């Protein structure tokens, strides 16, 4: 049974044109009937609302037990900023955040890290949009490990697509857990989206497409 909070988040993504249905191709090259594009958040109200969803999940899972949060360039940057602001406004948890440049700056202060400068021993949480095949996290970890001797135990995303990674029988999130020791927490999963569509009665044409996709690529 889908919770009211998850239903609210799914509807928020749809209203923001972030969760869309149709024919798409994911970063991993898979054809999918739904797509999540957090780059479509574009107003102050939207990023403030999104930040609250992330902040609530962070508070419920790790509380204050972390030192800083990292938003991978580019889509992770506003997500981390929004989550940091909401953590303070909603829960009085004031934590620094930082992000990376795609290209290292060779003037001024230089480097590829912007915002908080991580220190050895810091417990970092990652704020991202989705994980499909796990490609992005494999690009992110060298950035963090190159910045300082940090530990990364938790990652927060909007949607867990529950998709098989490179190893048969394992999702990309399972692989991330095994390869990096990271627990991935999602606001909603593909199963939640599917249940929402079924319960709404307005998306009967999407149900078989979702079922086919989930049977082919997902481990629920």
Q: What positions carry a catalytic annotation?
A: 105, 107
What three-state secondary structure class fits 58?
Answer: helix
C-alpha closest to that of 207 among 21, 9, 12 = 21
Peptide bond into 74 cis (omega under 30): yes
The torsion angles phi and psi of 124, rounded to 5 degrees, stand at -100, 135
Contacts of 204 (CB under 8 A, 6+ apart): none
Query: What is the DSSP pairing of strand 19-25 with strand 31-36?
Result: antiparallel
Contacts of 192 (CB under 8 A, 6+ apart): 2, 6, 10
Tokens 């290292």 found at: 104
């Amino acid at each position: 049974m889908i919770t009211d909070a998850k239903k609210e988040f799914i509807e928020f993504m749809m209203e923001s044109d972030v969760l869309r249905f149709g024919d798409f191709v994911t970063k991993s090259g898979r054809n999918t009937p739904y797509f999540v594009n957090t780059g479509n958040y574009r107003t102050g109200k939207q990023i403030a609302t999104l930040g609250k969803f992330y902040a609530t999940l962070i508070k419920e899972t790790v509380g204050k037990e972390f030192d800083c949060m990292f938003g991978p360039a580019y889509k992770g940057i506003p997500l981390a900023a929004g989550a940091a602001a909401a953590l303070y406004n909603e829960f009085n948890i004031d934590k620094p955040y930082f992000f990376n440049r795609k290209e290292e700056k060779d003037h001024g202060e230089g480097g590829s890290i912007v915002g908080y400068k991580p220190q050895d021993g810091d417990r970092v949480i990652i704020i991202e949009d989705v994980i499909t095949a796990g490609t992005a996290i494999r690009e992110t970890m060298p950035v963090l490990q190159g910045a300082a001797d940090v530990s990364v135990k938790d990652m927060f995303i909007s949607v867990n697509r529950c998709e098989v990674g490179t190893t048969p029988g394992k999702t990309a999130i399972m692989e991330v857990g095994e390869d990096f020791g990271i627990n991935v927490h999602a606001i909603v999963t593909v199963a939640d989206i599917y249940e929402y569509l079924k319960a709404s009665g307005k998306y009967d044409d999407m149900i078989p497409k979702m079922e086919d996709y989930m049977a082919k690529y997902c481990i629920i």
